[in-house]
Amino acid sequence: MVLVFSDNKNLSLELLNKGSELAKELGKNVTAVIIGESDDGLAKEYISYGADKVFIAEVDIDSFEAEKYAGILEKVLKETGAEIVLIGSNKNGKDLASRLAGRLDAGCVIDCTNLYLKDKKLTVERVVYSGNAIAVEQFNSKPSIVTIPSKVFDPLKKDDKHSGDIVKKKFDVEKSASKVLKVQEMQTGDVNVEDAEIIVSCGRGFKSKDDIKLVSELAEVLKGKTVGCSRPIAADLKWLSEDHWIGLSGHKVKPKLYVAVGISGQIQHIAGMRDSSIIVAINKDPEALIFKSADYGIVGDLYEVLPKLTSMVKDKMG
């Protein structure tokens, strides 16, 4: 059996796609796990996106706690006998996967970008050396635990006719050594680059923080409104918050349109946006690496190109 868990619904739907593909190949089922929520609505949604079974672990926990969740997932694994566990690779998921692997003395690979069966063994690929190489690794033991970042796989097409079972089981929550004192939501404003369909991103080609308004204006007329950036803009210059940061160590995005302005196109940036459907690059250096990844390129000074492009798009879009 293939088990799928994430505390993020969209990520669970993406994992269900890969999970059901692997399960079919193994002649087994794919089961989605919900922890602490007994509402059947979500379970039914998981079934319509490919789950053969949904296991609801009814526990008394208000919010995510890695130690406790690892204990619960361990029990679910023992109940179900799952041999492959796919966990969403957000901060919570990585914490959870490594703790679960530690408890089970199992293998665990973090941030996989491809998974397949070779000689009936789970084989995974992940980006290493800052995006310069891909490591291919194979599990020799079971269960095999992997985490998968968002946007690596698309969800399956929703199929309301797909049927599946919903199983509910109450579990006691183990005492853990740590205690959550307070959960404070991050102030992300309305930025969600991961779900954006149109992103205009800025890089170190910009001379000042104020100039980023040129990018916002283009994003606005493209009806995208989402501004992204390279690492130096968020991490070094702090002109934008980390919510905008795209790349290997930032957010992975998959918009329909990605416009990279004043971004050189180092592999670490490309790693976060290479799956965009259409990539447009604006850079004054005709040799800039970004043009190798772009579908359309404009060689020119962004301070001349952006105002003209924004005005043209505005006219076209009405």
Ligand X SMILES: Cc1cc2nc3c(=O)[nH]c(=O)nc-3n(C[C@H](O)[C@H](O)[C@H](O)COP(=O)(O)OP(=O)(O)OC[C@H]3O[C@@H](n4cnc5c(N)ncnc54)[C@H](O)[C@@H]3O)c2cc1C
Pick out residues in 294-313 that bind ligand X (CB under 6 A): 301-303
Q: Is 99 in the site for ligand X (CB under 6 A)?
A: no
Phi, psi of 228 (to 5 degrees): -115, 180
The span of 96-104, 162-170, 210-218, 248-256 binding ligand X (CB under 6 A) equals 248-256
- Please tell me the total number of residues recorded for the chain in this structure: 318
- Please state, in angstroms and rounded to a whole number, the distance separating the CA atoms of residues 259 and 279: 6
Q: Which is nearer to ligand X, 223 or 296 (CB)?
A: 296
State how far the alpha carbon of 180 is from the alpha carbons of 57, 64, 67, 171, 306, in Å.
Answer: 20, 9, 11, 20, 47
Q: Which is nearer to ligand X, 164 or 205 (CB)?
A: 205
Determine which residue in the list 24, 28, 162, 204 makes contact with ligand X, applying CB under 6 A.
Answer: 204
Pick out residues in 11-30 that bind ligand X (CB under 6 A): none
Q: Which is nearer to ligand X, 128 or 278 (CB)?
A: 128
Which 3-state string (H, E, C) describes 77-92?
HHHHCCCEEEEECCHH
Closest CA to 231 of 265, 261, 203, 212: 203
Q: Do the Cβ atoms of 123 and 117 come closer than 8 Å?
A: yes
Pick out residues in 251-280 that bind ligand X (CB under 6 A): 262-264, 266, 268-269, 272
Tell me whether strands 30-35 and 133-138 are parallel, antiparallel or unpaired: unpaired
Pick out residues in 205-244 that bind ligand X (CB under 6 A): 205, 230-232
Q: List the alpha helices (DSSP H) in 147-275.
A: 213-221, 231, 267-273
Q: Write the binding mask 121 to 160 for ligand X: x where contact by CB under 6 A, - elsewhere.
A: ---------x------------------------------
- Using CB under 6 A as the binding criterion, the count of chain residues that bind ligand X stands at 25
Q: Is 37 helix (H, G, I), strand (E, B) or coil?
A: coil
The span of 74-82, 160-168, 172-180, 281-289 binding ligand X (CB under 6 A) equals 281-289
Closest approach of Cβ 218 to ligand X, in Å?
13
The residues binding ligand X (CB under 6 A) are: 130, 203-205, 230-232, 247-250, 262-264, 266, 268-269, 272, 283-285, 288, 301-303
